[in-house]
Amino acid sequence: MVIDALLPWIRWLVAFHIMSVMAWMAGLFYLPRLFVYHCQVAVGSAESQRFKIMERRLLKAIMTPAMCASLFFGVLLMLTPGGVDWHAGWWHTKLTAVFCMFAFHGCCARWCKEFAADQNRHSEKFYRIANEVPTILMMIIVIMVVVRPF
């Protein structure tokens, strides 16, 4: 069976999953911080144009490919026999937090488009608060996977 063929590769799958999640998280931590700084410059200025380029490249060249790789390797791990106890409560909490992380990525993409069109609707304070969301989600995910409290 194809799924059983994944067993010899489990450590490689875990390694690539961790690396892709780290790259994705780095972007999720940094992009909202760029938005904070972008709020501080004048619309149409050279600085604003520089932030637009940085934000777009971070989102398109690093975050989205890393997110896709995280999803790919995560699904392969889920399909590996014994990889997931589908009845464990920690698993459902982790999966919910992961879906929230995907939603946050979508919000970042939308905010990036708004900045690109000079139509940002949020304050610097909003982005400072938003910058904490991936940290909280990451903490939940790591605790669920490592501690498995329930």
Query: Is the CB of residue 83 less than 8 Å from the CB of residue 52?
Result: no
Cite the annotated binding site for heme by residue number: 17, 94
Token pair belonging to 135: 């940290």
Give the CA diameter of the chain.
59
Place of tokens 């994705």: 24
Cite the annotated binding site by residue number: 17, 94
Query: Is the CB of residue 120 less than 8 Å from the CB of residue 111?
Result: yes
